[in-house]
Structure formats: structure tokens, C-alpha cells
């Protein structure tokens, strides 16, 4: 038996301490689906480790946590596949946040023998990031045509909540890598917004709906 999949993609943007993560967690709590939280942060120093521990303590204990600083699309695919095998009604996946995933990708070491190490340090590992980005956008697009084999469920639901920092409202950064990061974040947000069912911008804890949920999905540009 083949089951069509109902999906919902939400993109939540905002600056630092805007309340975007709190809003995303509210949406996840209101979901009737089991929640998997994908954390893209890495505890590279004591201060970041403390931040991560605080966030973990504030989240519901029954949420599943997966740390995925890289290979985001593969991580989401494995979560969906596992949920389908478990005969569940679906899964809610909360990713916090996309800009840390972008930063991790740009800072990924370039081991290619033809790479210019100095150029890679200045502008980041663009090749690796583009590969990650294209895989992720293909995954989001594929949800519209996804079907699940087997089972007796009436429907299989996938809710994906994506949190990301809006970094394009400040001054243009001085460094080349910083400018590359801002550019790539902006292009990523535009591509996701095209395929997302709902897009919201959060400021001072107040959400502003940029794309209502009733909008019809469009294919994201790779």
C-alpha cells in the first residue's frame, strides 16, 4: 500500500535574541507529531558548551535530539525513513539553526589537491557549501512528490520547522569570508522561502508573517 505524504515547511527568520527559536519550539509543541530536534551548533569552546547545555535543559525531555553540524539533508532523510519504518503517523523536525550549518560548511577544510588554501580561508569552502545547499533544496522539493510504501496509516505527515538568523540588515562586513556568509545566507533564505508553506520574521518576540500558510508551494531554485 502506497501512502501519500502530507508535508508542511515553515521558515522562521530573526536576529539574535529575537524570539525565533522560542516561536519554533511553540510550533513544535503544538504539533501532534513526535518531535526530533536537529542542533547544528558545535561546542567548540566553554561558552558555547554552556549555551548548548542551557538550550537542552529548556527543551522538553521527550524530544529526540540529533546533533548535525553538517550533512543536514542526509540527517533529515534518515529521520523520515526511520519514522516511516516505525509505522508512526509522521514526524516533526525542528532545525536550529540554518546559519550555523552554513557557517560550519563554509569553514569545512578543503582537502582538494587543486584548492588554493589561502583563497579557501578568505572566502570559505564554497564548493562544499554548494553541495550541501543543493542536496537540502532537493530534499525540500522532493517532499511534494514523496510517498511512503506499506503500512495501514491513513496519512503520513512531515512537518519541518527551519530556524535561521537574518543577517542582511546590518552593515556590510569588512572581511571577505563574512561577506560571503551574508550573501550565501540571503540566497539560501530566498530559495527556501519559495518552497516553504509559511515564512515568518520575528522581532522583539513578535512574529510577522511574510508568507501565509495557504500559499501554494513553488519549486526552490537550486
Q: What is the pLDDT of residues 115-143, one digit of tens each?
A: 555 545 567 899 999 999 999 999 999 99
Whether 50 maps to a domain, the answer reads yes
The CATH number assigned to the domain holding 58 equals 3.40.50.300
Give the CA dihedral 215, 136, 66, 4, nearest 10 degrees.
Answer: 50
Residue 217 scores a pLDDT above 60:
no
Q: What is the pLDDT of residues 27-84, one digit of tens each?
A: 999 998 999 999 998 877 788 778 777 777 778 889 999 999 999 999 999 999 999 8
Write the burial class of residue 175 (CB in 10 Å: 0-12 exposed, 13-18 middle, 19+ buried).
exposed
Which pLDDT score is estimated for 216? Answer: 46
Q: What is the pLDDT of residues 162-178, one digit of tens each?
A: 999 999 888 778 789 99
Tell me which of 216 and 30 has the higher pLDDT: 30
DSSP 8-state assignment for residue 17: T
Whether 219 maps to a domain, the answer reads no
Which pLDDT score is estimated for 213? Answer: 85
Q: Which helix (H) or strand (E) holds 139?
A: helix 126-142
List 55, 62, 169, 189, catalytic entry: 55
Per the structure, the count of domains in the chain is 1
Whether 42 maps to a domain, the answer reads yes
Instruction: Verify whether residue 55 is a known catalytic residue.
Output: yes
Q: What is the pLDDT of residues 143-160, one digit of tens each?
A: 977 776 655 556 789 999
Using CA atoms, how far apart are residues 148 and 142, in angstroms rounded to an integer? 13
| Domain hosting residue 52, numbered range | 2-211
* Cell (9 digits) for 98: 540554518
Write the burial class of residue 145 (CB in 10 Å: 0-12 exposed, 13-18 middle, 19+ buried).
exposed
Whether 221 maps to a domain, the answer reads no
Whether 83 maps to a domain, the answer reads yes
* Cell (9 digits) for 49: 558548551
Whether 222 maps to a domain, the answer reads no
Whether 220 maps to a domain, the answer reads no
Using CA atoms, how far apart are residues 150 and 147, in angstroms rounded to an integer? 10
Whether 51 maps to a domain, the answer reads yes
pTM, whole model, 2 decimals? 0.88
Amino acid at each position: 500500500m502506497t501512502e501519500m505524504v502530507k508535508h508542511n515547511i515553515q521558515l522562521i527568520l530573526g536576529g539574535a535574541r529575537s524570539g525565533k527559536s522560542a516561536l519554533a519550539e511553540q510550533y513544535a509543541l503544538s504539533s501532534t507529531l513526535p518531535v526530533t530536534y536537529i542542533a547544528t551548533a558545535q561546542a567548540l569552546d566553554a561558552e558555547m558548551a554552556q549555551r548548548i547545555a542551557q538550550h537542552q535543559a529548556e527543551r522538553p525531555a521527550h524530544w529526540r535530539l540529533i546533533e548535525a553540524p553538517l550533512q543536514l539533508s542526509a540527517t533529515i532523510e534518515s529521520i523520515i525513513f526511520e519514522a516511516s519504518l516505525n509505522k508512526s503517523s509522521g514526524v516533526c523536525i525542528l532545525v536550529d539553526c540554518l546559519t550555523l550549518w552554513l557557517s560550519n560548511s563554509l569553514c569545512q577544510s578543503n582537502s582538494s589537491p587543486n584548492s588554493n588554501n589561502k583563497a579557501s580561508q578568505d572566502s570559505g569552502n564554497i564548493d562544499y557549501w554548494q553541495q550541501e545547499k543543493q542536496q537540502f533544496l532537493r530534499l525540500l522539493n522532493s517532499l511534494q512528490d514523496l510517498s511512503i510504501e506499506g503500512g495501514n496509516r491513513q496519512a503520513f505527515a512531515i512537518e519541518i520547522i527551519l530556524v535561521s538568523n537574518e543577517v542582511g540588515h546590518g552593515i556590510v562586513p569588512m572581511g571577505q569570508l563574512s561577506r560571503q556568509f551574508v550573501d550565501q545566507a540571503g540566497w539560501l533564505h530566498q530559495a527556501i522561502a519559495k518552497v516553504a508553506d509559511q515564512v515568518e520574521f520575528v522581532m522583539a518576540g513578535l512574529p510577522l508573517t511574510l508568507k501565509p500558510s495557504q500559499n501554494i508551494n513553488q519549486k526552490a531554485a537550486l
